[in-house]
Amino acid sequence: MRRTSGLVLLALAVFFAALSPLLRWYAFPRLAKVPPDTYQTMVLEAKDATLLDYTTLRSRKVPEVTVVQTLKGNVEESERIERTTDRDVVVWDGLTYVVGPDGETVSRIPERYIFDAHTQEPVHAEGETVDGDPVERRGIEFKWPFLTEKRDYAYFDAQARTTAPIHYRGTRDFRGLEVYYFEQTIPWTQVPYPKTLPVEGITPEGIAATGTTRWYTTVRRFWVEPVTGAPVYGEEIHREELRGGDLLGGRDKVTAFAGHVKMREDYVRHTVDLVASQRTPVLLLTFYLPWGFLGLGLVLLALALHLEARGRRAARSGAAAGSRSEPQVTA
């Protein structure tokens, strides 16, 4: 009976020890994925900003500019693209629009971001666009990979349509969460005009025909929870200028927008709570269950060896007792 119990324990020890790496290296990449039907909204604000009045082409100080960013999962498109690839694909239809203090839309830029559901690497497919222009992204955008590392990443800038490093700047505490702080600087770069402008009758083609160009620079900052790869806070020190051409009436440049854009407080609280709740399933697959099963396997192995050793000692004791009880034969 003792030997049978030891064999059962040994089998269970092997099972749990084998399950440990399977959870981490097989189940985790297949189960930890961004859902294809995600929908989220983020609101950011720039207090005491500078904004261009397109009717007068003069910059003015305004009390507040609001930036609203929405990301909506397009399930139908993700399923269509998955049929042509061997990957689980997520398609986000994003929209970033800027609203002035009067509630009027300043700019409106849609984009479609197609990426691998687990790694967040871009997947190049028809429909990958920014403001209607086809692009081929390199690097991440919006979200870091699960189990973010302490290193620099390539990050796509939708304004400039280019990719540049976003640098890891250290580990910090953000409202009770350990986060990695990343920072990216985009130097002054000529960028396209948004296709939607705030004044009826003014078009990007009409402005471009005057020779006036649009330039942009930003310092982009993210606080990223490393287990989920989700930013819990973000901000930008953002500047845009119109330069040269006939539109400015002889001026070299005029500020189109300048402000320190930060996440609104209610969205910060919501994001921190959401990300904190999402950490547990990822940690179960990458830490708690693999190490727990490995530890359980070692305990079961020790018990199996203990039972085997006790069985052998009992067998030896029984054999010794039997030899002592044998009758002595004399001639």
- 166: helix, coil or strand? strand
How far apart, in whole angstroms, are the C-alpha atoms of residue 243 and residue 248?
8
Q: Look at residue 214 in the predicted model and tell me its pLDDT.
A: 94
pLDDT in tens, the chain (331 residues): 556 777 777 788 888 888 888 988 889 998 999 999 999 999 999 999 999 988 888 999 999 999 999 999 999 999 999 998 888 999 999 999 999 988 888 889 999 999 999 999 999 999 999 999 999 999 999 999 999 999 999 999 999 999 999 999 999 999 999 999 999 999 999 999 998 887 777 888 888 888 999 999 999 999 999 999 999 999 999 999 999 988 888 889 999 999 999 999 999 999 999 999 999 999 999 998 999 998 988 888 888 787 777 766 666 666 666 666 555 544 4
Q: What is the rounded end-to-end Cα distance, in angstroms, of the chain?
A: 42
* Overall size of the chain counted in residues: 331
Handedness of CA 224, 187, 257, 71 (dihedral sign): negative
Residue 330, token pair as written in the block: 């004399």
Who contacts 185 (Cβ-Cβ below 8 Å, separation ≥6)? 217, 218, 219, 220
Q: Look at residue 331 in the predicted model and tell me its pLDDT.
A: 45
DSSP H or E segment with residue 46 = strand 39-53
How far apart, in whole angstroms, are the C-alpha atoms of residue 131 and residue 115?
18
